[in-house]
Amino acid sequence: MAKLESKTPSGPLEQKWEKHKTEIKLVNPANKRKYEVIVVGAGLAGSSSAATLAELGYKVKSFVFHDSPRRAHSIAAQGGINAAKNYQNDGDSVHRLFYDTLKGGDYRARESNVHRLAEVSVNIIDQCAAQGVPFAREYGGLLANRSFGGAQVSRTFYARGQTGQQLLLGAYSALSRMVGQGAIELHTNSEMLDLVIVDGHAKGIIVRDLITGQITRHSADAVVLATGGYGNVFNLSTYARGSNATAIWRAYKRGACLANPCYTQIHPTCIPVSGDYQSKLTLMSESLRNDGRIWVPKKKEDAGKEPGSIPEANRDYYLERIYPSFGNLAPRDVSSRAAMRMCNEGRGVGPTGLGVYLDFADAIKRLGEPAVRERYGNLFDIYHEITAEDAYKTPMRIFPAVHYTMGGLWVDYNLMSNIPGLFVLGEANFSDHGANRLGASALMQGLADGYFVLPYTIGDYLAGQKPASRPSTESTEFKQAEDNVRSMTQRLLATKGKEPVSHFHKRLGKIMWEHCGMARTKESLESALQLIPALREEFWANVNVPGSAETLNQSLEQAGRVADFIELGELLCRDALTREESCGGHFREEYQYPDGECKRDDEKFAHVAAWEYQGEGKAPLRNIEPLNYEFTKMSVRSYK
Amino acid sequence: MVANNSTRIFSVTLRVWRQSGPGQPGKFVDYPAPQVSPDMSFLELLDVVNDGLTLTGEEPIAFAHDCREGICGTCSCTINGKPHGPGKGVATCQVYMRSFRDGDVIVVEPFRAKAFPLVKDLVTDREAFDKIQQAGGFISVRTGAAPDANSIPVPKDDADLAMDAAACIGCGACVAACKNASAMLFVAAKVSHLGLMPQGQPERDRRVLAMVQTMDEAGFGNCANQYECSAVCPKLISHDFIARMNRDYVSALFRENFKPASNATGGGA
């Protein structure tokens, strides 16, 4: 049974983080250079933490499977980053951002973590502006803001529709600066395939060089995983094709608890699927909902008609109708399910009937086409490239798609997992978003963790480790972990079955989407828990991975990742089955209010479920961390 | 009802550069693709062809890709002689098969340049770009040392122009398109982005000097003002930034040579 101590500091909510910072141990500057830290992943959380740790004087080794740290998928975030700056004078505050985030997460996150996130949000904007991130500005030269879902203030900072790109390039520039100074050893094209535990502590990783196939061992005083989410378990998602869960899954198999895997976010505004060959779903930023109006025809019979031919009176602007106070800016989970309900009623639009309109006609009338073009031009261009349709003339068709995973490796207040020395940042951890993440909060969390939390909290752990006491990579633990990696690689190559890797990924994705997607039931989950182990068996008997292990072999890379996704998918369904309530991104049809909203069960489920691996073929253990709300009342979320 | 293209299935032939590794002989190989939907992306067609190759026992075509939405800069194919293919202002992953016609032979090559050594098939090594960034593509600001973000106003026009330059995705198409394999559009984009911001002024001179020097050392050629770079750039970054960088470079070089020497030696009590 894993020990899950949240290590939440005592005292008033507003003072916890300050107090904690003064109480945790420090490492003196002369000793910092004696400690080595491995950082896996180079997205917002990975790059920002690697750069900051190096600035502090630690020796950092950064590993990324991409050919450059700048390729990490944080780059694709479009809309913006939240911060409680209150530059708009519209009543925002740290407390309000805290409250919105906690409520948006359907009261399934730790109060202390969320409050800290809101506190440091303001420092992030300062840091990024100083790095030269070209945020949108007003004519006076000050920073501009826009609104995002789940908030009634304008607190989102942005750089056109490429905010993630600009923030990542900022963090990448900080990382590059430290690489140039020799303070970070950068390993690109390097995929972590196992975690090495020595005497119960995380002390290293096993890495495969994706170009040469060489497998190497790396030891360190602490290991940081910032490897992103596991949304590609659904195959079709807005994630990059390479995004994977291998690092966190292998850490799970070494004893790190995986918390709340069933909390998956379905984003309401993506471009609908067009065919079987499809590899990816493209997001249309939530910021579009600032000016776009979402509708479907009132009558089923109109669903197949040209949108322009449907008169105003026959359109159902259903978000505005059902949620008058938040309207088109209702949170993501609420909006996605509403779209699904419309399609289930037969009112979905487009060739497949799985779509709703996002209409800019009113915005164009009100603001003029040039203003709309300035705000969203690049998004309209992307839409045009993919669909060959002009969204200035005809409404966009959108449909929900998997976009983010709130679950992840369990961490305490210091962002350390239940394995001492293993820290987990950004989307890879479970910490701050509860059961649903609000728009523009992922960038905030990644950078909060990397710039402003881990650099303090890692010292508390390292101060307890003797300087330069890293285990040798010749130790048994390293050898055993390397053997584990080699044998899995050999097994994948030796199977020589009849189906390519993609075949299994597609089938897994279909099972996950149909049985554990936007809405889940006991029956659907139980059936998924039959189908997935069978698929796993078939995978290992019938997968075909061509080529060798000694060269660039993309099929081999993908095979390892899909093998992990199959196992993770099973755990996800198990978690969803056990959580007999609906909350945020986890919607169980049995648990809903008459109007279709989530019905939580705070009595039984106001806790984090942290799953612990028990070995091959054994059921994992469900550990519980109770969520104690000291400062906020868990209320029924309403956006009406 | 919106027009549905998915019934218009057609066929093409992919003529793909295959090379098992650096220093190995390479050659073009033809792969027929009989089931092409116009709504398919070019990379999705490569996926389908690769699954077919896997089943026949041939090694799939290695190609670089990741986000598939034109922002990560990983994908890098030269299609019919043009880096990123026929579209304007798009990356390889945003090329859709509706750009081609039934019976087309589509020639697919890696981005070719001396400073981008070939890894395998369509994959090249673009680490030289990272080296250039490490030399100076940053503003030195320690985490936590930043003043309030609104204490440094940036005129909107400057911020917008900086953003135009900062939109670069680091794909290297500019290099692949240039007969000199020049990286000047890439470097100019970074130099201009930071040089346009007030935050970037203190290091403006040393930045441009260091980045240009590293660029030269990496084996990239120089600009001959033909602007093939901006023509193929997936983010349509303007070659005007090259002029801006050249101006910055000359004044930095001049100032560098006539810099008053400071007696400061650091240290202190």
Q: For A460-482, how does the pLDDT look when each residue is reduced to its tens digit (9 = 90+)?
A: 999 999 988 899 999 999 999 99
Give mean pLDDT, residues B214-237. 97
Chain A residues within an 8 Å CB radius of B139:
130-132, 173
Q: Assign residue A380 the CATH number of its domain.
A: 3.90.700.10
Both A319 and A373 in a single domain?
yes
Q: Which domain holds residue A219?
A: 17-265+404-462
Q: Which residue in A48, A241, A452 is closest to B65 by CB distance? A: A241
User: Are A178 and A281 found together in one domain?
Assistant: no
pLDDT at B5: 45
Residues A598 and A529 in one domain: yes
Q: Around Cβ A549, how many Cβ atoms within 10 Å?
A: 16
Name the H helices within A422-475: 442-447, 454-462
- Residue A469, burial from CB neighbour count under 10 angstroms (0-12, 13-18, 19+): exposed
Does any CB of chain A come closer than 8 Å to the CB of residue B78? no
Task: State the pLDDT at residue A597.
Answer: 86
Contact between A173 and B139 using a beta-carbon 8 Å cutoff: yes
Tell me which residues of chain A, numbers 441 to 460, contact chain B at a CB-CB cutoff of 8 Å: 451-452, 455
Closest to B74 (Cβ–Cβ): which among A66, A173, A351?
A66
Residues of B in contact with A131 (CB under 8 A): 138-139, 141, 146, 199
Based on the domain organization, do A34 and A93 belong to the same domain?
yes
Please report the pLDDT score of residue B268 as a whole number: 56
**Position A449: which residue type?**
D
Per the document, the length of chain A is 640
Residue A639 maps to a domain: no
Please check the confidence at residue B3 and state whether its pLDDT lies above 90.
no
Distance CA B64, CA B122 (A): 7
Q: Which pair of tokens denotes residue A316?
A: 């159902």
Q: Report, in angstroms and rounded to the nearest whole number, the Rg of chain A calculated over CA atoms.
A: 24
Among B96, B136, B200, select the one facing A132 at the smallest CB separation.
B200
Could you say which of B59, B67, B167 has the minimum Cβ distance to residue A76? Answer: B67
Quick check: B4 pLDDT over 50?
no
Would you state the pLDDT for residue A275? 85
**Under a CB-based contact definition with an 8 Å cutoff, are residues A294 and A356 in contact?**
yes
- And the tokens for B168? 């670069």
Does A130 sit within 8 Å of B152, measured CB to CB? yes
Domain tally, chain A? 3
The answer to whether the CB atoms of B144 and A451 lie below 8 A apart is yes
* A454 and A500 part of one domain: no
Q: How many CB atoms lie within 10 A of CB A403?
A: 27
Interface of A with B in 331-350 (CB under 8 A): 350
Cα B62 to chain centroid, rounded: 19
ipTM reported for the complex, 2 dp? 0.96
Structure tokens at A94: 């740290």
Same domain, A276 and A295: yes
- Which one is predicted more confidently, A132 or B269? A132
Please name each of the domains of chain B with its CATH number.
Answer: 10-120 (3.10.20.30), 127-257 (1.10.1060.10)
pLDDT of residue B6: 47
Residues A350 and A421 in one domain: no
Instruction: Provide DSSP, A376-395.
Output: HHHHHHHHHHHH---TTTS-
The Cα B172–Cα A76 span in angstroms is 18
Residue window 261-300, chain A: list those with CB within 8 Å of chain B. Answer: 274-275, 277-280, 282-283
Provide mean pLDDT across the span B55-80. 97
Contacts of A449 in chain B (CB under 8 A): none
B218-239 mean pLDDT:
97
Q: Choosing among B71, B152, B237, which should be mutated to test the A contact, i.e. which has the most A CBs within 10 A?
A: B71
Residues A290 and A153 in one domain: no
pTM of the complete model:
0.96
pLDDT at A588: 97
pLDDT at B269 over 80: no
Residues A231 and A170 in one domain: yes
Query: What is the largest distance, in Å, between two alpha-carbon atoms of chain B?
Result: 80
Question: Which run of H or E residues covers position A605?
Answer: helix A602-605
Mutate which: A66, A68, A270, A389, vs B, most B CBs within 10 A = A68
Nearest chain B CA: its distance from A239 CA (Å)? 7
Residue A410 placed within a domain:
yes
Taking CA–CA distances from B46, the nearest residue in chain A reads: A277
Contact A134 B70 (CB under 8 A): no
In eight-state DSSP terms, residue A453 is I
Residue A397 forms contact with B (CB below 8 Å)? yes
Q: A67 and A154 share a domain?
A: yes
pLDDT > 70? residue B7: no
Closest-approach residue (CA) in chain A for B125: A67
Positions in chain A whose pLDDT score sits under 70? none
Determine contact: B37 vs chain A, CB below 8 A: yes
The 10s digit of each residue's pLDDT in A221-236 is 999 999 999 999 999 9
Instruction: Return the closest-CA partner of residue A342 out of A289, A389, A394, A297.
Output: A297
Condensed to tens digits (0 to 9), the pLDDT of residues B137-169 reads 999 999 999 999 999 999 999 999 999 999 999
